[in-house]
Structure 1
Amino acid sequence: MTAAIASTPAGADLRRAAGEVAGAAERAEERLASLQSPGSRSAEQRAVAAAVHDEVRARRTTFMEAHAAEVYDALTDGRTRAVRLAELVEAAADAFPGLVPGAGRLAAERGRAQADKEGLEIDQGIFLRAVLRSATAGPHLLESMLRPTSRALRLLPEFTRTGVLETESVRLERRDGVARLTMCRDDCLNAEDERQVDDMETAVDLALLDPGVRVGLLRGGKMSHPRHRGRRVFSAGINLKSLHAGEISLVGFLLRRELGYISKLVRGVLTEDTGRWHSPAIEKPWTAAVDTFAIGGGAQLLLVFDQVLAASDSYLSLPAAREGIIPGAGNFRLGGATGPRIARQIILQGRRIWATEPEARLLVDEVVEPDRFDDAIEAAVRRLDGEAVVANRRMLNLAEEPPEEFRRYMAEFALQQSLRLYGEDVLDKVGRFGARRS
């Protein structure tokens, strides 16, 4: 906590309230420690644990509703520093004991299967919902997440020189002014995990920062997976193997993905260049090309692109409700594209939309036969290579997705998605998935 806050009456009130939360959290941890580990608890012990968590989480919620802006100011030196999500929750654990789990407890949880976790990320969800709901802290955090990552800044000189980046999940190549991002997790049908989120954000940052790039293109690469060997695939959505293993985190995947590279596709990357007074964000138009399928997170991605092409034998689906989770900002964006009825059919009922269906034209700009797909993609990319495109897409995005509306949605998403990660139905599904793989 900063000295400036500690020296004010409001600071004294904050310290007193934080101390009460810390005491309640310590007592809760002692009670939980007397129980079996989460995966081994009896029904009676699970009920006791739920009651313990409910009591202390109610205290955390009340504290953050009253003090979110003060807490955030303390962690960011009065909003003078751009702090990313992971750094923010880590700093909160140090400065306000008991408010969010510390690094040691999270590391211990990380090594457990999803069903064997205590659900500590729910406390991060409580914290981040309050931060994002704050009229001062929320916008500052969203802007901080639009800054280029340190990894991208480190790689930028080499990329501007060579025009090529190879990562585990993504290949980025600049050719003829086009940043060509190819998702290349060929073994898992481009199913997303934290590695891919990091690689995608790095690639998007580089494409936006490189002055030689005018337009971006995203496409899936050819697969080695037995079911689709040799075929291009856009994305199979969230990596269920990683989810079962407890390797899909709220902060490192679910929130970073939405507030990081996907937001940058919409709003651009923020820089410190004072010469960009007319627009501090560097924005560029983007095209997506769908081969075979775009499932789950892959379908979510399509909703932020300026144009989408699909091969005629491909389909889109967003089965998050059946998987038990919330499809990112898909609920926020999909209805605007399809209308509320079809959006509910897709999200709540798992409806699959084939590229050749009339309803697909609400989500796809052009449907092309596979043997003509490459040529159609090149023609589509050239259509977005115009001087007025960036200004017009900026105004379209401002009208269709006002930042304040997005912030309010993401605030509630932070909590609801954290709860869904530990819902009994989700744990049952990922447990059965793990058993099938075994």
Structure 2
Amino acid sequence: MTGFEPAAAGLAAAAAAVEEVLAALPEPGDRSPGQRAEAAAAFDGVRALRVRFLDAHVEEVYDRLTDGRATRLRLDALVEAAGERFPWLVPGAALLAGERGRAQGAKEGREIDQGIFLRAVLRSDVAGPHLLDAMLHPTPRALALLPEFQRSGVFASESVHLERRDGVARLTLCRDDCLNAEDERQVDDMETAVDLALLDPSVRAGLLRGGPMSHPRYRGRRVFSAGINLKSLHAGEISLVGFLLRRELGYLSKIYRGVRTDACWHSPRTEKPWVAAVDTFAIGGGTQVLLVFDHVLAAADSYLSLPAAAEGIVPGAGNLRLARFAGPRLSRQVILGGRRVWAAEPEARTLVDEVVPPELLDAAIERALDRFTADGEAVVANRRMLNLAEEPPEAFRRYLAEFALQQALRLYGADVVAKSGRFAGGAR
């Protein structure tokens, strides 16, 4: 096995040679088919070297970035530190700045190298658990807002409105102009809201529901979520680290596994039960969210879908979790075939716990919350054991490792660029 320093020097030289090739070519969006093939061949060569280097040295790289794992770095801080210290391994700030502001189809695809790096980190039995643990800690934003939330019981942001009432943290998705389609702003707001709900000791359970829309097609109606914001994706504003991976390792993981608080000796995380209520539809990421909730209600006229094949991307951890609920056949019909599952269908009962007429949904939500808060400690202990049995952390980590690279590759697929452009013109 080649030592770290000689292997690093060889990789640095190869990375510099690739940059010389790219510098001689037009901008990515202006290249001919032959020039695109030349750039792809250059990237393929150096990326193969990166994979081999990380196979041998990822734990040493991670230890150098985290002071031997004495420092916790979240995803964004980790890739930023790697780009600064090892720019031949992970793109540095200057290269990423060159991508920023470009449409997805006009980018060089530097995030693929972040995917290679993060796959190796997450695959490591040493580095991977350390990174997952770092992502379960409260965000600095949430810690700064916590005293005011405990006093007022309200947190209002661009994407989410959080109100504590009767021991329940009621999260309302409020991107009324875009049918609660998710972008990086919403992911940050959601993680902040989830942290606040989990950190406030007076909160016994959480509720997530979509708010009324101003969108012309659904004006005045509640909508749960239209999934990923395809306009933002087409515009190049959906990032691998800040959206796709932070979403899975941030607020979704915290809903499922709790927030790291070290509050007591017998549990390092604070966990609470969560209820979700679906109005109108839960598309794509909206359905992914439901798979980490303890109890899901749906209006009888609503539907769920994961249009992964239509969009061209991987639906987060949906591939890991959906079959656990719906079985392998229905999962393939939904993910590969684009099937919508209407709440009124018998098959929907594998994905939702209660289906009620829209006018009765409010009352059904309150009954469900009463059940989950009546036996709080027993509910928390049993949900923890259920989640551990159904999705061991190691299984989740192995899945996310491969997801990091496959989703990075999908982001820059020609089909994804074309499809996101078509979808971006309207609301589904």
TM-score per shorter chain, which class?
A: over 0.9
Give the aligned length.
Answer: 425
1:25-40 equivalences under 5 Å are: 25-40=15-30
Aligned to 2:297: 309
Structure 2 residue corresponding to 1:154, chosen from 139, 144, 147: 144
Q: 1:74 to 1:293 in 2, by over 3 A?
A: same
One-letter amino acid of the structure 2 residue matched with residue 280 of structure 1: P
- Is residue 290 of structure 1 aligned with residue 298 of structure 2? no
Q: Distance in 2 between matches of 1:379 and 1:356?
A: 21
Aligned to 2:344: 356
3-state SS in 2 of match to 1:367: strand
Structure 1 residue corresponding to 2:170, chosen from 170, 174, 180: 180
Q: 1:421 to 1:197 in 2, by over 3 A?
A: same
Contact 2:84 2:93 in 1 (8 A): no
One-letter amino acid of the structure 2 residue matched with residue 365 of structure 1: D
Per the TM alignment, residue 427 of structure 1 is displaced from its structure 2 partner at its CA by 1.3
1:405-420 equivalences under 5 Å are: 405-420=395-410
Contact 2:262 2:269 in 1 (8 A): no
Q: 1:436 to 1:393 in 2, by over 3 A?
A: closer
Per the TM alignment, residue 17 of structure 1 is displaced from its structure 2 partner at its CA by 1.5
Contact 2:277 2:296 in 1 (8 A): yes
Per the TM alignment, residue 346 of structure 1 is displaced from its structure 2 partner at its CA by 0.3
- Is residue 83 of structure 1 aligned with residue 88 of structure 2? no
Q: Distance in 1 between matches of 2:63 and 2:124?
A: 11
Structure 2 residue corresponding to 1:324, chosen from 302, 312, 331: 312
Per the TM alignment, residue 249 of structure 1 is displaced from its structure 2 partner at its CA by 0.2
Structure 1 residue corresponding to 2:130, chosen from 131, 137, 140: 140
- Is residue 268 of structure 1 aligned with residue 258 of structure 2? yes
3-state SS in 1 of match to 2:132: helix
Q: Distance in 2 between matches of 1:89 and 1:24?
A: 20
Deviation digits for residues 326-374 of structure 1 (CA, Å, limit 9, x no counterpart): 0000000000101100000000000000000000000000001011110
Deviation digits for residues 200-232 of structure 1 (CA, Å, limit 9, x no counterpart): 000000000001100000000000000000000
Q: Distance in 2 between matches of 1:301 and 1:153?
A: 24
One-letter amino acid of the structure 2 residue matched with residue 194 of structure 1: E
3-state SS in 2 of match to 1:185: coil
Q: Distance in 2 between matches of 1:227 and 1:431?
A: 20
Aligned to 1:222: 212
- Is residue 92 of structure 1 aligned with residue 43 of structure 2? no
One-letter amino acid of the structure 2 residue matched with residue 329 of structure 1: A
3-state SS in 1 of match to 2:45: helix
Deviation digits for residues 219-260 of structure 1 (CA, Å, limit 9, x no counterpart): 000000000000000000000010010000000000000000
Q: 1:435 to 1:314 in 2, by over 3 A?
A: closer
Of 322-331 and 379-388, deviating more is 379-388
Q: Distance in 2 between matches of 1:434 and 1:401?
A: 34
Structure 2 residue corresponding to 1:374, chosen from 353, 358, 362: 362
3-state SS in 2 of match to 1:171: strand
Per the TM alignment, residue 15 of structure 1 is displaced from its structure 2 partner at its CA by 2.2
Deviation digits for residues 144-192 of structure 1 (CA, Å, limit 9, x no counterpart): 0000000000000000010000000000000000000000000000000
Q: Distance in 1 between matches of 2:124 and 2:187?
A: 26
Aligned to 2:224: 234
Structure 1 length normalisation: TM-score?
0.95
Contact 2:231 2:425 in 1 (8 A): no
Per the TM alignment, residue 97 of structure 1 is displaced from its structure 2 partner at its CA by 2.1
1:18-97 equivalences under 5 Å are: 18-97=8-87
Q: Distance in 1 between matches of 2:184 and 2:40?
A: 29
Q: Distance in 2 between matches of 1:436 and 1:51?
A: 36
Q: Distance in 2 between matches of 1:251 and 1:218?
A: 24
Deviation digits for residues 30-57 of structure 1 (CA, Å, limit 9, x no counterpart): 1011111111100000110110000000
Per the TM alignment, residue 429 of structure 1 is displaced from its structure 2 partner at its CA by 1.3
Contact 2:310 2:419 in 1 (8 A): no
Aligned to 1:189: 179
3-state SS in 2 of match to 1:328: coil
Deviation digits for residues 274-311 of structure 1 (CA, Å, limit 9, x no counterpart): xx110010000000000000000000000110000000
The runs of 5 or more residues in structure 1 that have no matched partner are 1-9
One-letter amino acid of the structure 2 residue matched with residue 293 of structure 1: F
Q: 1:34 to 1:133 in 2, by over 3 A?
A: same
Aligned to 1:17: 7
Q: Distance in 1 between matches of 2:9 and 2:309?
A: 39
One-letter amino acid of the structure 2 residue matched with residue 144 of structure 1: A
Aligned to 1:126: 116
3-state SS in 1 of match to 2:275: strand
Per the TM alignment, residue 96 of structure 1 is displaced from its structure 2 partner at its CA by 1.1
Contact 1:115 1:431 in 2 (8 A): no
Q: Distance in 2 between matches of 1:371 and 1:180?
A: 19
Per the TM alignment, residue 432 of structure 1 is displaced from its structure 2 partner at its CA by 3.3
3-state SS in 2 of match to 1:132: helix
- Is residue 277 of structure 1 aligned with residue 244 of structure 2? no
Contact 1:312 1:356 in 2 (8 A): yes
- Is residue 342 of structure 1 aligned with residue 292 of structure 2? no
One-letter amino acid of the structure 1 residue matched with residue 341 of structure 2: I
Q: Distance in 2 between matches of 1:405 and 1:48?
A: 38
Report % sequence identity: 73
- Aligned CA-pair RMSD: 1.2
Q: 1:327 to 1:436 in 2, by over 3 A?
A: closer
